Amino acid sequence: MDIYFFLGKGGTGKTTVSASFSVGLSYYNKNKNFLIASLDPAHNLGDAFNIELSNKIKKLTENLSAVEVDLEKMIKEYLNDLSKNLKNTYKYLTSFNLERYFDVLRYSPGIEENAVLESIKKFLNMNEFDALIFDTPPTGITTRVLALPKLTLMWTKRLMDIRRKILDRRKMVENVKGKTEAIIEDEVITLTADEKEDQIMIELVSYSKEMEDLMKLFQSDLTKINIVTMPEDLALFETKRIIELLNKFKIKVNKIYLNKYLIFDNPPEVIKGKIIEQDRVIEKMREEIKNINIKDIPLLSQSPRGIEDLLKFYDNYILE
Amino acid sequence: MKADPNRPTPAVKLRDNVDYVPAKPFVLYGHHFASIAGAGPITGPAIAMAWGWLPGLLWVWLGNLFIGSVHDYLALMASVRYDGKSIQWVSGKLMSARTKYTFEIFIYFTLLLIIAAFMGVFTGLATTNASIGTASILFIFVALIEGVLLYRTKLSFSVASIIGIILLVLSIYIGYAFPFIKITNAHTWYIVLAIYSVFASSLPVWILLQPRDYLNAYILWVGLILGLVAAVFAFRGFNWPTFTIFSAVTVGGKPSPFWPTVPLVIACGALSGFHSLVATGTTSKQLDSELSGLFIGYGSMFTEGFLATLVITSIAAFGMQVFQGAADALAKNNFDLNLLMTDKTYLANKYAGASNSVGGAVGIFTKSFGKMTTAVGLPENIGTTFAGLWVSAFVLTTLDTAVRLARYAWSEIWEPVKRVSEGFYKFIANQWVASIIADVLALLLIWWGSYNIIWPGFAGANQLLAAIAMITAAIWVKRVQKAKPAWQMAVLIPALFLWITVTIGLIWYLFVVVPSIAVALNKYMLGGFTVIMLILNFILVADFLSGWRKGPLPETETK
Amino acid sequence: MGLREVSTSLIEKELEETENIFALLTMGSFAGIPSPPTGIILRILPYMKREVYVMIARSKNLDDNLAEIAGIFSIE
């Protein structure tokens, strides 16, 4: 499965570019089935296509489908499942305010990143598609999402080490006193010392395997990261930051789309300054960012809307 | 106490099967006794023989009965009534929060003295008796093996235990027959012990500490039973003076008036402050019923008293023969054997010095024990080696645990610094740094002298701890139990008596013994420690006075 | 006579402390400690009945550690 991520700040035209990309690529590769998914809570994808999209996958053409993922709903659902589960397991914790813990969880950093990653995982498992295109959330979240598998692996390794120590000590006590039984509020639980039986270890092992697969996927050539940016100082700065960050996690950036590029034969006074800045930024960009393809896309008087427009946009500006 | 069988103990009331779980009284007794027993009840009484056998014995019996057991029992029960909180925590509530912190500093210094004193005891034995030194080192490896057998193999508990015991016996025998570790230089042993304690205290407990703790329990009970049986069979009367002179030379080479210095010599066995930590740290959380408190609190202390009595008895009956057996060594060091045996005053003044030729006062015990056990058919040197291992095994455990505890107390003491410089705190509280500092400080105490000088410092600190625990108990009895004045006095008077005795004893120690220490660094360190402890002592008493005057308190406000 | 106890009491205390730490690390966000990515928490929390129990039990005595440690490690 090929994966295309489109990153970019709000206003850079990321949604337009990604939508156009999906239309064009699917048009010229009729033998493959494409899905474009918006992971951005502020969904614009439907607007770009001029079609109302929802949490259910909608077929747009023969080989292109689209969906706007409802992250809020996802989060609520799995927190609810967890809550039900935990209330049963932890009914002994009367002094322990579970409700409060869930409030903390709901707003703790990382809960949205997790939802995005879970959503990506879900799509990866849909074998009917050959390629996935993702219109991503604001760059902060997205870079954290891309880094999440590696970060998770660091944590699972650490937790597994501690878990092993627990199981090891339990085994020692078992050797002398027999299987350990814990009495929690009149309920007797047998504690296991065996890695293969310990539920926590089992979960940690399987989850870390999943994360490892994702991490390798993101680092491989199957994943193509595209950054949509504008020829402004701040945008360049941000773009470089993203590249650096992703580099740290061994994720390569595939292409940079320099959008809303100003082309004037006779620029009016007011715009002259902007054009000078623009040219300066582009020169700087070409100097400082090597090994990454940079494609200019000019500022259009009207943004493309609807599949036909998007295809034209692709032919004019994206197709190599 | 008004011990009430119907009043649930914390183990029952707060049962969580983690820290709070009721244990069968007999099991708890065994565990508690094993925790408080060590080399203490052996060393103190052995040193006190300089006064004759009766004075020490009287202090062991009377001190144990009227002060020591009372102290242990009250500390235990006060903690039980406070939901299992430690005596240190309770003192913080009854007196002031500063008390708790002061306690911690106090305990840290006491630990350093323990490490130094016990290094001295072990070295005294190992330098004069290669069998004991050999057996002790071999025993470390036996413990390592036992750890693997118990916790890593599929062997049953009984089988692993039996193998451990066999290996233990083997190490005694090898020490007896092939004493190949012949290090006579005390300083070498000090370094070895310091390195040992730094590493041992950093190992996971299952590797060395836990299995050795376990095997030590066997040594302890075998020693007690063997000693009792042998004493009964061997008894032919004492040939040791009942009473020598009032101011025999026991403390640091100076004539020491029996009162107030006897608590500085005999600590464990008669009275020991550390017991209050053990009793209120874990035992109080496992007491199944208030009625069991009497059995465990008094019972364990009495058993320790019994051990001390055994020590005194064996030296009283066989000590002179030991001196006779060492005639050459004594002569070489200019001690007159004849005078030792016939002149009470000479014995009183020269006992401490003379015993150095045979491994110190503890050495005399091991040899006396050896002679005593020939009555049950054991070759004398095996008995001696066994007794020596008895002491050294506990000493090695104490070195290990004292360093661990010192590390912990150290990190707690430096906590306030965290706010000022986190980097410094991280450095100073680092596991290795803390261990090494503790050992270095202890080494500086023991390096130049024998433990005769350090021992009273440790014992004194220990007894101060006990006095403070008893004072805390007295306040508790007054303010919380709201006992009648008669009962208040029953606790307060022994507590005050103890406090006065020990304080005067320590002041005497500071002005008479410390100045006579040869090496300046050593003198100032020990002197400094004593001064600090006396200051802490007075702070704690000031807190007591303000606590005593305050009004009645409701019981058990621990939530 | 409590001999099995004597042979495991230290290990059991260490075990409890480790279970405590495991629970603290996992639920760190509740105590102001950095916690693992939410994904991990969601997967293992349903199975941590014992560990959380130990954590709550131990938290009651956090201000009274010295004597407890002294009690566990027999000094004399």
The region of weakest confidence among A155-169, B294-308, C28-42 is C28-42
What's the pLDDT score for residue B468?
Answer: 77
Closest by Cβ to C74, choosing from B26, B35, B272 = B35
- Per 3-state DSSP, what percentage of chain B is helix, strand, and coil (rounded to 5)? 75, 0, 20
pLDDT band for position B558 (cuts 50, 70, 90): very low
Q: Which two tokens stand for residue B103?
A: 């306690």
pLDDT band for position B344 (cuts 50, 70, 90): confident
Mutation for A interface: B15, B17, B21, most A CBs within 10 A: B17
What's the pLDDT score for residue A69?
Answer: 94
Neighbouring chains of C at 3+ CB pairs within 8 Å?
A: A, B
Domains along the sequence of chain A with CATH:
2-318 (3.40.50.300)
How far is Cα A282 from Cα B274, in angstroms, rounded to an integer?
76
The number of C-alpha atoms within 13 Å of B397 and in the hemisphere containing its C-beta is: 31
* Long-range CB contacts (within 8 A, 24+) of A157-162: A157/A208, A158/C25, A159/A204, A159/C22, A159/C25, A159/C26, A159/C36, A159/C40, A159/C44, A160/A201, A160/A204, A160/A205, A160/A208, A162/C18, A162/C21, A162/C22, A162/C25
Q: Which residue of A has its CA nearest to B161?
A: A176
Q: Cβ of B259 under 8 Å from any chain A Cβ?
A: no
pLDDT at B544 over 80: no
Q: Based on the number of CB atoms within 10 Å of its own CB, is B546 exposed (0-12), middle (13-18) or buried (19 or more)?
A: exposed
More confident: B256 or A4: A4
pLDDT band for position B325 (cuts 50, 70, 90): confident
Mutation for A interface: C17, C24, C42, C48, most A CBs within 10 A: C42
pLDDT in tens, B115-154: 998 999 999 899 888 999 999 999 999 999 999 999 998 8
Strand partners, A181: A190
List the A34-38 sheet strands across, edge first. A58-61, A64-68, A34-38, A131-135, A2-7, A223-229, A253-261, A293-298
CA distance C64 to chain A (A): 21
- Measured CA distances, B48 to A43, A274, B352 (Å): 88, 97, 9
Peptide bond into B485 cis (omega under 30): no
More confident: A226 or B545: A226
How far is Cα A287 from Cα A285, in angstroms, rounded to an integer?
5
Q: Which residue of A has its CA nearest to B14?
A: A185
Q: How many residues in chain A?
A: 320
pLDDT in tens, C4-48: 878 888 898 889 889 988 988 888 776 677 788 888 988 898 898
Count helices and strands (H / E) in chain B.
Answer: 24, 2
Are residues A176 and B157, on separate chains, in Cβ contact within 8 Å? yes
Beta strands in A169-231 (DSSP E): 180-184, 187-191, 223-229
Number of domains in chain C: 1
What's the pLDDT score for residue B559?
Answer: 39
pLDDT in tens, B448-506: 877 778 888 888 888 888 887 787 778 777 777 777 777 777 778 888 888 888 888 88
Please, which residues have CB within 8 angstroms of residue C53's CB and are 6 or more apart in sequence? Answer: A92, A93, A182, A184, B16, B18
Q: Which two tokens stand for residue A198?
A: 């310990």
Residues in chain A whose Cβ is within 8 Å of chain B: 169, 171-172, 175-177, 182-184
Q: Cβ of B151 under 8 Å from any chain C Cβ?
A: yes
Are residues B150 and A182, on separate chains, in Cβ contact within 8 Å? no
More confident: B360 or B191: B191
Range of the domain at C14: 3-72
SS3 A164: helix
Q: Cβ of C71 under 8 Å from any chain B Cβ?
A: yes
Strand bridging mode B249-251 / B254-255: antiparallel
How far is Cα C28 from Cα C37, in angstroms, rounded to an integer?
11
How far is Cα B391 from Cα B370, in angstroms, rounded to an integer?
13
Are residues B150 and A172, on separate chains, in Cβ contact within 8 Å? yes
pLDDT band for position C76 (cuts 50, 70, 90): low
Other C-beta atoms closer than 10 Å to the C-beta of B244 total 25
pLDDT band for position A92 (cuts 50, 70, 90): low
The region of weakest confidence among A129-133, B273-277, C8-12, C59-63 is C59-63
Are residues C63 and B210, on separate chains, in Cβ contact within 8 Å? no
Strand partners, A67: A37
Question: What residues in C contact B18, CB-CB < 8 Å?
Answer: 16, 53-54, 57-58
Q: Which two tokens stand for residue B423?
A: 């980097």
pLDDT at C1 over 80: no
Question: What residues in A contact B151, CB-CB < 8 Å?
Answer: 171-172, 175-176
Q: Which two tokens stand for residue A282?
A: 């582009």
Residues B331 and B337: beta-carbon distance below 8 Å: yes
Q: Which two tokens stand for residue C74?
A: 């027999």
More confident: A203 or C7: A203
Which contiguous run of DSSP H or E holds residue B255?
strand B254-255
Beta strands in B5-60 (DSSP E): none
- Measured CA distances, C40 to A114, A164, B478, C44 (Å): 10, 17, 54, 6
Q: Cβ of B414 under 8 Å from any chain C Cβ?
A: no
Are residues C6 and B398, on separate chains, in Cβ contact within 8 Å? no
pLDDT band for position B554 (cuts 50, 70, 90): low
Residues B131 and B175: beta-carbon distance below 8 Å: yes
pLDDT band for position C75 (cuts 50, 70, 90): low
Q: Based on the number of CB atoms within 10 Å of its own CB, is B425 exposed (0-12), middle (13-18) or buried (19 or more)?
A: middle
* Residue of B24, B60, B137, B71 whose CA lies nearest to B492: B71
Residue type, A157: K
- Measured CA distances, A92 to A80, A290, B2, B326 (Å): 19, 59, 34, 69
Chain A residues 294-313 with a CB less than 8 Å from chain C = none
The region of weakest confidence among A155-164, A261-270, C1-10, C66-75 is C66-75
Question: What residues in A contact B19, CB-CB < 8 Å?
Answer: none
Chain A residues 197-236 with a CB less than 8 Å from chain C = 199-200, 203-204, 207, 211
The arithmetic mean of pLDDT across residues B46-71, rounded, is: 87
The arithmetic mean of pLDDT across residues B337-350, rounded, is: 86
Name the one residue in this structure whose structure tokens are 């209050």: B276
* Long-range CB contacts (within 8 A, 24+) of A264-269: none
pLDDT band for position B557 (cuts 50, 70, 90): very low
The arithmetic mean of pLDDT across residues A277-306, rounded, is: 85
pLDDT band for position B222 (cuts 50, 70, 90): very high
Q: Which residue of B has its CA nearest to C67?
A: B281
The mean pLDDT of chain B is 85
The mean pLDDT of chain A is 88
pLDDT at A94 over 60: no
